[in-house]
Amino acid sequence: MVVARTVEGVQVVSISGEVDLSNATEVSDAIGRVVSADVTVIVVDLSETAYLDSSGIAMLFRLAERLGHRRQELRLVVPPDSPLRTALELTNLPQTIAVQDAVE
Amino acid sequence: MAGRAGVSETSGVLGLRLPADPSRTVAAIVLVGAAYDLGARLGLNLSLVEHNVTPLWPPTGIALAAFLLLGRSMWPGVALAALAVNLPISNGPLPALVTAVGNTVAPLVAAIILERVGFRRQLDRQRDALAIVFLGALASMTISATVGATTLFASGSIGADELAGAWVVWWTGDAMGILAVAPFLLCIPLFWELEPWPAARWLEAAAILVVTTALVLWTTYSDLPLLFLVLPVLGWASWRLQLRGAAPAALIASLVATWSATHELGPFERGSLLEQMLTLQAFNASVALTSFFLAALVTERLQSARALVAAAAELEWRVEHRTAELSEANTRLLQEIHDRSEAQEQLSLEEERSRREHQIAETLQRSLLPDRIPHIPGVAVAARYVPATADMRVGGDWYDVIQLRGGLIGLAIGDVAGHGLQAAAAMGQLRMAVRAYAVQDPSPVAVMNGLHGLVSGLPMVEMVTLLYLVYDPETGTVRFTNAGHPPALVIGNGDTRYLDGGLAPPLGVVAHWDYAEATQDLRPGATLLLYTDGLVERRTLSIQEGLDRLVSQASGNENADVDALCDHLLSALPGNGKVVDDIALVALQPLVLAGTPLSLVVPADARMLFPVRHTLRRWLRESGVDPRDEGEILIACGEACGNVVRHAYGASPGDMHVEARLVAGSVELAVRDQGQWRIPADRGGGWGLQLIDGLMDSVDIDSGPEGTEIRMRRRVLVGGEE
């Protein structure tokens, strides 16, 4: 499930549940629908994301690229104890997209 | 006179009845008296010797005919005329009176006797001929002869020696008077009473009379004793015209013969008086007997012939009538046979139609039911559908097992009221509707609300019972709403009971309903059983007894796998091998995963990634693997499975095998397919392998023509210890 909220010019999009090959495109489209063109920073919060596979990671890369074209910055929130953390690091994602432990 | 006559058959005598009019009776009496007088004058003219011996005395015949035709009340006419006739020829008034009495009594007695013996004046029977000859003429006339002869002797007219001769002459004369005259008079009314003669018959009668007269006259003038020649002519008359021809001919023959005898002509020329008398009386008797007997015989024969013809006609009519009846009965029978055969044919057609509809409905129903139960990892599911065998009905029972988002499993079982094609078609629509609503929102309340609206809009559906459940393998809970369906049964762990909550009326019964859901835990190893009423209903049992039997049969088999359980229930419950109502049955059991290796075979489909992952997660948790290891193992397994889904089979379907074992503190995973592929180097795919490599301690890829297998191993913490 994708939920978005905006706090002080920053849009936070929370993804809850699991993202895999079967629904990565769906989640991507959902984010695309909620992302506002007026904000400069979009934070995708993965705190409530129980599972994210490589198709989800690829989706995040593409999202970052798309937002970059629009001069918008993508940041991720991944808690330190998230089961996703290792996987994200293995794909070198943190080198491209800023990853923070919490939503400020 | 005769024109007013009525014919009565009530007595043997067929008399003419005059109306009870005294003046007419008197007129008739006067007429009879006149006729008697006339006859007497004729008779006296025919006497052989002076006025004493008369061989033919017509008045006697006239008197008898009058009594027979007009009644005995004619006696005064007869008596007075007799007195008048006898007065001039008797020795004084007394002898005349006595003789007149004798002359009156004799024909009166004759008439009485004849009436007594049932004489018919038509003389159409032999017994009538016999009666008039022997009773009417010979017997009765002994009275007048005795009275007359005695009076002659007493009055001194004759001597004692002449008495016998006088008696004989008197007797034969009276008798001949009756034989010659009475039949002739009696035959006259027959001309009106019987069928009229055509002209030819009249001519024939005239010819007979002429020939008779001529013949008798000729013989009387001939020297030869040829009187008998008249007999064939009388035979002819009797044969052809019966009494109406014979009586006049006989009268003429007798009169002419008697006249010739009185004039001593022909055969009567010679001989004594006695010889003449004998000859004459013999002739007259022969004439009378011949004509009347023959006439009676012929009449009888004709009547017999007519009766025979009538009988034959009647027989023919009866035969025709009966034949017509038979023919009608036959027609009716044929019609009935035809009708029956048509009805039979109709029945056969109906049966055939009904049988075909049954077949179509059953085929339709089977095709509308899930063709195979989805293979859901970590969960065993079995389903059965048994059509009714007791009659030709196909029910509207149906079920479905639906894999939903988030690993949820939707279960639905229902019964559409009614049977046959319509019920089967409605059931198909409902099943698809449940799928559609559940995919949109799996919650029981949402599904029921959707279906409620749908059923309200389906005119052909009267009532639908539906039990919808959604099972979450992750949490081990069942949420359900039951719209009028027999409750689901949870079997296992020593506690078998029905799921009684979440009740609602059947769909389509009420306009609005606030649906609510109930929740029930379903632990691994327990079995959830859904069924339709055909499983528990038996004619001899109450519903409660049926439900109790299901509990006891299910409890005794709680350790059986779902297929064995379904088979056992179907064989144990309906009984008699006959299924009265159709039965649908679905059993679902979350498998106990801990302690044994996990082995899953699922279609290589992206939608299967979630249930595979969740089953593996459940297996890892139940096996006590540390949550931190769990998450990363899941990602590694998911990547391996994702590769199979994307690359192993292309567009073709194929299976994916996932096996997991816990060996010496390590989780060993194997993901296998039977496809032909190479690990691609594109985005994501590359990451997939990269992730597997990074997350697991060791990875082996075995790729060949028969498929690819990725084996992975990772040391894990089990139960908090490494």
> What is the structure's pLDDT at B461?
66
Question: Is it the case that residue B223 has pLDDT exceeding 80?
Answer: no
pLDDT for residue A30: 92
Q: What is the pLDDT at residue B9?
A: 38
* Least confident residue range of A45-54, B329-338, B364-373, B426-435: B364-373
CB contact under 8 A, B642 and A20: yes
pLDDT for B52-63, tens place per residue?
667 888 999 999
Is the CB of B695 less than 8 angstroms away from the CB of A86?
A: yes
On chain B, the residues whose CB falls within 8 A of the CB of A87 are: 632, 635, 691, 694-695
* pLDDT at residue B166, as a whole number: 82
Percent of chain A with pLDDT over 70: 100
Q: What is the pLDDT of residues B470-481, one digit of tens each?
A: 999 888 899 999
Which stretch, B190-199, B419-428, B451-460, has highest mean pLDDT? B190-199
> How high is the pLDDT of residue B3?
35
Top residue of A1, A19, A20 to mutate, by most chain B CBs within 10 Å, is: A20
Quick one: pLDDT at residue B419?
66
**Range 369-408 of B in CB contact (< 8 A) with A:** 406
**How many A/B residue pairs have CB atoms within 8 Å?**
73
Residue of B nearest to A49 (CA): B631
Parent domain of A9: 2-100
Are the beta carbons of B186 and B223 closer than 8 angstroms? no
Identify the pLDDT of residue B391: 54
pLDDT at site B1: 34
Q: Which CATH superfamily groups domain B598-715?
A: Histidine kinase-like ATPase, C-terminal domain (3.30.565.10)
Rounded to a whole number of angstroms, the distance from the CA of A41 to the nearest CA of chain B is: 26
Q: Residue B51's pLDDT is what?
A: 53
Number of separate helices (H) and strands (E) present in chain A: 3, 7
> What's the mean pLDDT in B40-56?
75
Look at residue B559 and tell me whether its pLDDT is greater than 50.
yes
Q: Is the pLDDT of residue B372 over 60?
A: yes
To test the contact with chain A by mutation, choose from B629, B671, B687 the residue with the greatest count of A C-beta atoms within 10 A, namely B687
Q: What is the mean pLDDT of residues B219-234?
A: 81
The fold of the B369-590 domain, in CATH, is Phosphatase 2c; domain 1 (3.60.40)
Sign of the dihedral through C-alpha B142, B147, B153, B157: negative
Query: In a 3-state reduction of DSSP, which class is residue B386?
Result: strand
| B707-715 sheet: strands from edge to edge | B598-603, B655-663, B666-673, B707-715, B698-704
Contacts of B635 in chain A (CB under 8 A): 51-53, 83-84, 87
Q: What ipTM was assigned to the predicted interfaces of this complex?
A: 0.93
Rounded Cα–Cα distance for residues A21 and A55 (Å): 6
What is the rounded CA–CA span in Å between residue B273 and residue B280? 10
User: Of B144, B172, B164, which is closest to residue B85 (Cα–Cα)?
Assistant: B144
Find the distance separating the first CA and the last CA of chain A, reported in whole Å: 22
Pairwise CA distance, residues B229 & B216, whole Å: 8
B476 neighbors B522 (Cβ within 8 angstroms): yes
**Which pLDDT band holds residue B389 (cuts at 50, 70, 90)?**
low
Predicted pLDDT at B13: 43
CATH of the domain at A28: 3.30.750.24
Contacts of A52 in chain B (CB under 8 A): 635
Q: What is the DSSP string of B6-46?
A: -B--SSSS--B---S-HHHHHHHHHHHHHHHHHHHHHHHHT
Number of domains observed in the structure of chain A: 1
Report pLDDT digits (tens) over B233-270: 888 888 888 888 888 888 888 888 888 888 877 777 77
Which residues of chain A have a CB within 8 Å of the CB of B695?
86-87, 90
Interchain contact B472–A (C-beta under 8 A): no
Mutation target among A54, A65, A84 for the B interface, most CBs of B within 10 A: A54
pLDDT band (50, 70, 90) for residue B683: very low
pTM of this prediction?
0.54
E-state strands within chain A: 2-7, 10-15, 17-19, 41-45, 49-52, 73-77, 98-100
pLDDT for position B62: 92
Q: How far apart are CA B96 and CA B334, in angstroms?
A: 88
Contact B207, B174 (CB under 8 A): no
pLDDT value at residue B353: 83
Max mean pLDDT range (A6-20, B18-32, B114-128, B434-448): B434-448
- CA A17, A20, A22, A26 torsion-angle sign: positive
- pLDDT of B6 reads 37
Q: Closest Cα of chain B to A99: distance in Å?
A: 18
Examine the pLDDT at B192 and tell me if it is beyond 90. no
Helix (H) or strand (E) holding B651: none
The yes-or-no verdict on residue B521 having pLDDT over 60 is: yes
Question: What integer is the mean pLDDT of B88-108?
Answer: 88
What does the mean pLDDT of chain A come to?
Answer: 89
Residue B647 at interface with chain A, using a CB cutoff of 8 Å: no
Query: Which among A16, A19, A22, A88 is the top mutation candidate for probing chain B, defined by the most B β-carbons within 10 Å of its own β-carbon?
Result: A22
Do residues B166 and B149 lie in contact, with contact meaning Cβ atoms separated by under 8 Å? Answer: yes
Q: Which residues of B touch A82 (CB under 8 A)?
A: 631
Could you say which architecture CATH assigns to the domain B1-194?
Answer: Orthogonal Bundle (1.10)
Q: How far is B622 from chain A (nearest CA, A)?
A: 18
SS3 string of B503-556? EECCECCCCCCCCCCEEEECCCCCEEEEECHHHCCCCCCCHHHHHHHHHHHHHC
Please state the domain extents for chain B.
1-194, 197-360, 369-590, 598-715
Of B285, B293, B33, B89, residue with least CA distance to B173: B285
Q: Which residues pair with B672 in a beta bridge?
A: B657, B709
Inspect the interface and report whether the beta carbons of B606 and A21 lie closer than 8 Å: yes
Q: Per residue in B700-712, pLDDT tens? A: 988 888 889 999 9
- Pairwise CB contact (< 8 Å): A51 & B613: yes
Indicate yes or no: CB of A83 within 8 angstroms of CB of B632: yes
Instruction: Write down the mean pLDDT value for chain B.
Output: 84
Nearest to A54 among B634, B645, B688 (CB): B688
Smallest CA–CA distance, residue B441 to chain A, in Å, is 13
Model pLDDT, residue B52: 60
- Please report how many Cα atoms fall inside a 13 Å half-sphere around the Cα of residue B530, on the Cβ side: 32
pLDDT of residue B7: 38
